[in-house]
Amino acid sequence: MMQTVLALLRNRRNPFWLRALINAARHIPARLLALLIIGLTLVSHAHADEQNTCGGHNILPDLQKSDPAAYADIQTEAAKTLNGQSIFWKIEKPGIQPSYLLGTMHVSDPRVLTMPAGASEAASKADVIIVESDEVLDDKKAAIALLAKPELSMFTDGSTITSRLTPEEASELEARLKKRGLALASVNRMKPWIISAFVALPACELARKAEGETFLDQRLAQTAAKAGKRVLGLETYAEQLAALNDLPMDFHIASLLDALRLGDKMNDVNETMLELYRTGNIGAIVPMLQAVSTEKGTAKQAGYAEFEQRIIKDRNKVMASRAGPTLNQGNAFMAVGALHLPGSDGLVELLRAQGFRLTAMQ
């Protein structure tokens, strides 16, 4: 992950931006999350349909006026981020056709579905499409596979979320979940990262998913499959959830509470992330998340090192290793979450270490 993230992981005590980073870097498709929750009769359908637009706004212009120092800090951290100014890269090596790497956001917003100049053409001409998981081609099948491993999404030892909370925290959790259309009694045995990923999704995204809208990675994979092209998945959803299972439970619960405390402000956070993504300024995403968090200086350091290693470094290495042989054949198009690209441990640098030359195209 990017250098600034690694520094924050070591030095900051802030659960929300870490949770949001998990959601951005490792994002199970919203439709699959809905299937998991609906399959357990845990979600209110009405809540997802309450609004068709999110109504969020980019918080950075307001922050620049209200807190110039905080805004300047975000810009400074973004500028320090290695490979943090582009989401579209050309991959070259002598003797083979060029391949391409695109960082994505796993949402169905039409603005995200519009790729940078040259990306759509590169994808259409590629012999193979590489995505985080080829399970995006069949969400229902993927959901069944995950439900066959209940320990990845549910407490199977008889414990619950509230058994790990103080009475005050449990009351707060119940009230805030109720506002999101979720009953605490229904989700109490569900692992908190499943709920976190779900509540972080804006209502408009849930509504679009309910109507069958796809996100960019999924659309690329589906188009390739229909054309008879090979679709290579670098991970499975089970592997992704297993990585989350390795992290401390206290970390996940604190992250869930913090996400719920943001309430409707999540729409503004998501809109700001989207704007930073569209301009290629992905190096500013994590500093922005840190600036808007409701919790500062309260979370324990336990779990941060595990997060850095298990969710970021380990997964980037797996992706680079599994993608390498296909990229060495040339003419591939690789699309993965944008926050996997930057930093000294990001995919851009890891692929360079394999002898590829990567050039920013945005």
| DSSP secondary structure code for residue 361 in this structure | -
User: Could you give phi then psi for residue 230, rounded to 5 degrees?
Assistant: -75, 135
The C-alpha torsion from 339 through 341 and 343 to 344, rounded to 10°, is 140
Q: How far is residue 307's CA from residue 320's CA, in Å, rounded to a whole number?
A: 19
What pTM does this model have? 0.82
Of 194, 167, 183, the C-alpha closest to 34 is: 194
Question: Is residue 249 included in any domain, yes or no?
Answer: yes
Question: Is residue 108 included in any domain, yes or no?
Answer: yes
Question: Is residue 55 included in any domain, yes or no?
Answer: no
Do 42 and 186 touch, CB atoms closer than 8 A? Answer: yes
193-224 burial: b if 16+ Cβ within 10 Å, else e: bbbbbbbbbbbbbbbbbeeebbbbbbbbbeeb
Q: How far is residue 348's CA from residue 284's CA, in Å, rounded to a whole number?
A: 17
Question: Is residue 14 included in any domain, yes or no?
Answer: yes
> Which residues in the chain come in under a pLDDT of 70?
1-53, 293-305, 308
The C-alpha torsion from 305 through 309 and 310 to 312, rounded to 10°, is 110
Query: What's the Cα-to-Cα distance from 139 to each of 143, 186, 214, 222, rounded to whole Å?
Result: 6, 23, 11, 12
Of 330, 312, 286, the C-alpha closest to 84 is: 286
Question: Is residue 337 included in any domain, yes or no?
Answer: yes
Beta bridge partners of 129: 231, 333
Instruction: Tell me which amino acid residue 329 is.
Output: Q
pLDDT of residue 267: 86
Gap between the terminal Cα atoms of the chain: 20
Give me the number of domains the chain comprises: 1
pLDDT of residue 305: 59
Which residues have a Cβ under 8 Å from the Cβ of 182 and sit 6 or more positions away? 42, 43, 44, 195, 199
Do 244 and 26 touch, CB atoms closer than 8 A? Answer: yes
Do 248 and 301 touch, CB atoms closer than 8 A? Answer: no
Of 274, 217, 190, the C-alpha closest to 20 is: 274
If you count DSSP H runs as helices and E runs as strands, how many of each does the chain have, helices first? 21, 6
Task: List the 128-131 sheet strands across, edge first.
Answer: 230-233, 128-131, 332-337, 99-104, 88-92, 357-360
Which residues have a Cβ under 8 Å from the Cβ of 163 and sit 6 or more positions away? none
Local structure of 43: helix, strand or coil: coil
Domain that holds residue 144: 3-45+67-360
The pair of three-digit structure tokens given for residue 134, joined into one six-digit string: 């080829």
Question: Is residue 280 included in any domain, yes or no?
Answer: yes
Question: Is residue 59 included in any domain, yes or no?
Answer: no
Do 97 and 358 touch, CB atoms closer than 8 A? Answer: no
Local structure of 243: helix, strand or coil: helix
Question: Is residue 54 included in any domain, yes or no?
Answer: no
